[in-house]
Amino acid sequence: MSKSSIRSKVISSLFWTTGATLINVFSQIAYTSIMGRLLDPSAYGLMAMGDIVLRFVSYFSGMGLSQALVQKANMTTEDIRAAFTSSIMLGLFLYSLFWILSPFSIYIFPVEELVPVIRTMALSFVISSLFLTANALLRKELKFNITAKITVISGLIASFGIGLPLAYLGYGVWSLVVSSLAQSMISGVWAYLIVRHDIRLSFIWKNYKPLLGFGLKISINSFLIFLSYNLNTVLIGNLLGSKALGYYNRASYMAQLPIQYFTQSISQVLFPAMSKLQHDTEKLRKAYLTSSGYLAFAIIPTCVGMSIAGEPLILVFLGTRWEPSVPIFQVLAFAPIFNFLAIFGNSSLDATNRVGLKIKITLIHIAIMLIGIGSFYRLGSIGLAFAIVIADFVKYVILLFITKKYLQYTTRQWFETYLPAFINLLYLTPIFLLIRFFTNYWDIAHLISLILFIFAGGLCILLGFLSSPRVLIILEIKNLIRPIAGKPGLGMLKFLIK
């Protein structure tokens, strides 16, 4: 594939994933808002506990085979068969394992109601194993126009067509469980019907070795990341109970929701694209700096603004009974700044097969997390939230120095990349603080306060964009759009680049 073809596919993929992301963000905000009024916090607590127990080994359920297929330069039919066979075997094994061992979950979370929840949620291993290969092949070929449609439609059906009615009928935590499984099944079947890859089983070891070698390192690193980000959940569930965990879980979810979908859509495109350019350091460097700058421009001021506007945001979208989540949310809102900006460095490390280096960084992150927990646990949920933010910051700084070394960019280039974001922040912070002061002083309704924050945030981003020394970014965006503006479904872009 030529570099111009890769460029065109990457930009097309970004438009599709961004469009799907916008729909997902607004639909999930609406879904979360309604479900927050139908379900008790303990239901979310049970779901979070079950999710923790399953994810303890879920990162090994696919053995990193999806990433291995995407990263592999010369893929064959035998590679596809090997990936499909091993994923099914692992999925069935893990489902059986959790069915047998689920009663022992009471030693992690002393809640008897959790056992049937875990056994049902474990079906996700079987479902994901059946369709792992199909999803990986779509990503490898940068067919994100298809994956975007699959994600949006399956999510809407599962959330509003299944989860919401079940919650309304009083099924509690089961509405969340069934909705999650349904989305995996719908999206998986759809992906396979499009790809229709070879489903013959293969038991030839030489076909497994290269995939499992890369995939195992990916799985180990993912598992370590899981440990680092779920220490708080385990501690809160054990020490403070399911209700306190529910408050923490919703605060964490709301802190990540507006940004998570965008960064996930970008990282989904970046990894396969960078894999195709893994031997071209100059283009990798440009992709890293450009992508980081675009995302930082939106993420840094957005996260700061979310923290300042935390009270009306939580109370409007979740309801007044979720007020204990507000201070937790205001701390956790800073975590995405470091966590999600790191995805560009992580994607470049994956694409260049430096996963071993990622494992070392993650181990350092866990050590810092443990130190933070030991220092702040007396403050309760808020203290543990502080530990998360501090550890994420240190991890990002370490990753920054590493990528600076092997991508060979200068400190000045990094500063120029992030300067528009800092300028944007200078506009937003004082304005948001003034809005919070006057809305609290005059006791303005939370909905009106939130509308004021949103309007002010949009205005600040516009001002930051217009005053940025990189205002010529408009020309760069035009150059990116132009190669795909005439393609089917993207004709509207002709108008945008004029």
Rg (C-alpha) for the chain, rounded Å, is 23
Cα distance between residue 78 and residue 110, in whole Å: 46
| pTM of the complete model | 0.66
- Residue 488: predicted pLDDT: 44
Q: Could you tell me if 87 and 129 are in contact, meaning their C-beta atoms sit under 8 angstroms apart? A: yes
Per-residue pLDDT of the chain (498 residues; tens, 9 = 90+): 555 555 566 666 667 777 777 787 788 878 888 888 888 888 888 888 888 778 766 666 655 666 666 666 677 787 788 878 888 888 898 889 889 988 887 777 777 788 888 899 999 889 988 888 888 888 777 777 788 888 889 989 999 999 999 999 988 889 999 999 999 999 999 989 998 888 888 777 776 666 666 667 777 777 787 777 777 777 777 766 777 788 888 898 888 876 666 666 666 666 666 666 556 667 777 777 777 777 788 788 889 999 999 999 999 988 888 898 999 999 999 998 888 777 777 777 776 667 778 888 888 988 898 888 788 878 878 888 898 899 999 988 998 888 888 778 888 888 888 888 888 888 889 999 999 999 988 888 899 999 999 999 888 877 776 666 544 444 444 454 454 444 444 443 343 334
pLDDT of residue 357: 82
With b meaning 16 or more CB within 10 Å and e meaning fewer, what string describes 360-394?
ebbeebbebbeebbeebeeebbebbbbbbbbbbbb
Count of beta carbons in the 10 Å neighbourhood of residue 26 = 11
Distance in angstroms (rounded) separating the CA atoms of residues 115 and 304: 39
Q: Which residue has tokens 């680092």?
A: 228
What confidence score (pLDDT) does residue 261 get?
60
Q: How many residues does the chain have?
A: 498
pLDDT of 487: 47
Asked whether 211 and 72 are in contact (CB, 8 A), the reply is yes
Quick count: other Cβ atoms within 10 Å of Cβ 459? Answer: 13
DSSP assignment of 28-64 equals HHHHHHHHHHHS-HHHHHHHHHHHHHHHHHHTTTSTT
Instruction: Please report the pLDDT score of residue 4 as a whole number.
Output: 52
